[in-house]
Amino acid sequence: MSSRPSPATTLDGGPAGRSADSTVSAPTARSGKVTQSRVLNSEWIKFRSLRSTYLTLLIAVAAMIGIALLACWAAANRWNHLPMAERANFDAAGRSIDGYVFAQLAIGVLGVLVITGEYSTGMIRATLSAVPRRLPVLWAKMAVFGGVTLVLASVASLLSFFAGQSMLSSQHIQTTLSASGVPRVVFGTAIYLTLVGLFGVAMGAVTRSTPGGIASVFGMLFVLPLILHALPSSWVDNIGPYLPSNAGQALTVLHTEPHQLAPWTGAGLFAGYVAVTVVIAAVLLKRRDA
């Protein structure tokens, strides 16, 4: 005895492909309307349905907390042997969130995969057929991934901070979350990681290729600063602060150097880079075939 196949569903969760006789009811005729909220819900289901999502985010959180414990334990263990100048410039808050450097790798990669995964499987054609205007898909992907990243990165930053301070307390060199500039460092790290994730989504939309998107993100955030350090020091001081990663990371530094951008100025510049990339992604999404 054969079983009856389940009906296909539309973006609102209602059955698709009804018979001609059943289409006479007005509510059913209007049930397939595409709205931004329905697209958002669809993207949220996709995002939370992938095992790689949980694994990658877990790696990012574990990297932040693990490196905080290790870095702060090492600092406390060597404290009595450090020169006085190094002790005077010691940044307890910054040391506890150093793991963001590695967490941004995982978040940047996941941001790229959020959109290139559909291109690699061909699912993007079904998605864009269901949402002909296309741009709501991009906005929904960025809203879902950006929101999840901001919440998770904030929690990870707080856990890293408190874990690191517990290690530093053995030498009484810890700081508190209420100390001047510390909330900006802790939550600024979450903002920076969120911008990295959105940058990854936009790059994925531009390249439509997982290797190409990841290479673009890594090139902008890691390779460019390395190349710059091979140039004369005057170039480093004049150009370095305006590179995407250096500008964004100004938000994570408690005491900026004279040649660095102010924290919120740097964050604004990095957000500008992300916004430009998003605009390019939106234009290409509208003009190119799936």
Q: Is residue 131 part of a domain?
A: yes
The answer to whether 204 and 115 have CB atoms below 8 angstroms apart is yes
Q: Is residue 12 part of a domain?
A: no
C-alpha 81/C-alpha 74 separation (Å) is: 12
* Residue 32 confidence (pLDDT): 62
Radius of gyration over alpha carbons of the chain, in Å? Answer: 23
Q: Is residue 19 part of a domain?
A: no
C-alpha 110/C-alpha 56 separation (Å) is: 7
Q: Is residue 177 part of a domain?
A: yes
The answer to whether 67 and 100 have CB atoms below 8 angstroms apart is no
Read off the pLDDT band of 234 (50, 70, 90). confident
75: domain range?
34-287
Q: Is residue 24 part of a domain?
A: no
Average pLDDT for 228-251 = 87
Q: What does pLDDT average to over the chain?
A: 87
Q: Is residue 20 part of a domain?
A: no
31 C-beta neighbours (distance < 10 Å), count: 16
| Total of domains in the chain | 1
> Is the model's pLDDT at 221 over the cut of 50?
yes
Segment 259-268, tens digit of pLDDT: 789 999 999 9
> Is the model's pLDDT at 256 over the cut of 60?
yes
* Residue 232 confidence (pLDDT): 81
Segment 151-191, tens digit of pLDDT: 999 999 999 999 999 999 988 899 999 999 999 999 999 99
Q: Is residue 17 part of a domain?
A: no
- Burial environment of residue 286 by CB neighbours within 10 A (0 to 12, 13 to 18, 19 or more): exposed
* Residue 29 confidence (pLDDT): 37
> Is the model's pLDDT at 276 over the cut of 90?
yes
* Residue 18 confidence (pLDDT): 42
Q: Is residue 236 part of a domain?
A: yes
Segment 102-146, tens digit of pLDDT: 999 999 999 999 999 999 988 999 999 999 999 999 999 999 999
* Residue 228 confidence (pLDDT): 85
Segment 21-71, tens digit of pLDDT: 444 444 433 456 889 999 999 999 999 998 889 999 999 999 999 999 999
